[in-house]
Amino acid sequence: MWKPNELKRKLAEGEKVWGLFCSIPTPLHVEMIACAGYDFVIVDTEHASVNPETLENMIRAAEARDLPALVRVPNPSAGPILRALDAGARGVVVPHVRCRRDAEAALQAARYFPEGMRSLNGGRVPGFGRLDLEEYLRPANREVMVVPMIEDREGVDRIDEILSVDGVDMVLEGAADLSQSLGIPWQTRHPGVKQALERIREAADRHGVPFCALPRAKQDLQEWENRGVRAFVLGEERGLAFRALRSHLERMKEQTVKEGRA
């Protein structure tokens, strides 16, 4: 934990960063994401079944490749946040943050005194006591990231109060659930959804909080870049793997047909 969080550094310096969700619960996929050149990974424990031991090993794989690993926890409660951070995550992505109270609860769970009340532990992150535990608290508070995910109409309406909470390191949009909250499920590029996402981005600019987009098409990426966005999550590895496998099969079938006609 004494090592600087490279994702925080890059965001602070205005560098462009590229991330990916990892939903397949295996350290191998985390290592592949690192070797592919991504700047960070978000291990998903909200929509994927990841047991605590596997989560810890996925984070170890990220550490071995100097890849900052965040964990999307199931909810803002203290338990999942504590377990993710004690496993070594460099931060947490908190889904369905709808109000200031949700953001404050996440920060209380993620930070030690005086910034929060994260439960004290001398486990793997401070080297089982190899680091002075009192000294460890300061870099832990400095390097651990708290990232609220805005994916509800209520969260959009209260975005200014959410981002006014001191200690929010980045805000991540969640267009899929947001589309459902707006009554247009899975229409993630609907004008109403895009307008809501723009409200989040504008609020992030006002509060000096980096906004992270999930572009779903090349056009989305260009539009976000034109608005000054520098942080992107490019989907998840399950979807990428599925599309690559299907495309590979279709190419092979087409080639077989062509050769049969020759």
The pLDDT, as a whole number, for residue 92 is 98
Residue (of 179, 122, 110, 120) closest to 147 by Cα position: 110
- Angle, CA 53 vertex, CA 168 and CA 134 arms, to 5°: 50
pTM of this prediction?
0.95
- Judge whether 229 and 201 are in contact, CB under 8 Å: yes
Point out the residues that are catalytic.
47
The pLDDT, as a whole number, for residue 2 is 65
Mean pLDDT by 10 residues, the chain (262 residues): 86 97 97 98 96 97 97 93 97 98 97 96 90 92 97 98 97 97 96 97 98 94 96 97 96 86 66
CATH architecture for residues 6-261: Alpha-Beta Barrel (3.20)
Task: Classify each residue of 35-70 as buried b or exposed e, where b means 16 or more C-beta atoms within 10 Å of its C-beta.
Answer: eeebbbbbbbbbebebeeebbbbbbbbbbeeebbbb
Q: Where are the domains of the chain?
A: 6-261
The pLDDT, as a whole number, for residue 76 is 84
Residue (of 11, 57, 17) closest to 40 by Cα position: 17
> How far from each other are the two terminal CA atoms of the chain, in whole angstroms?
62
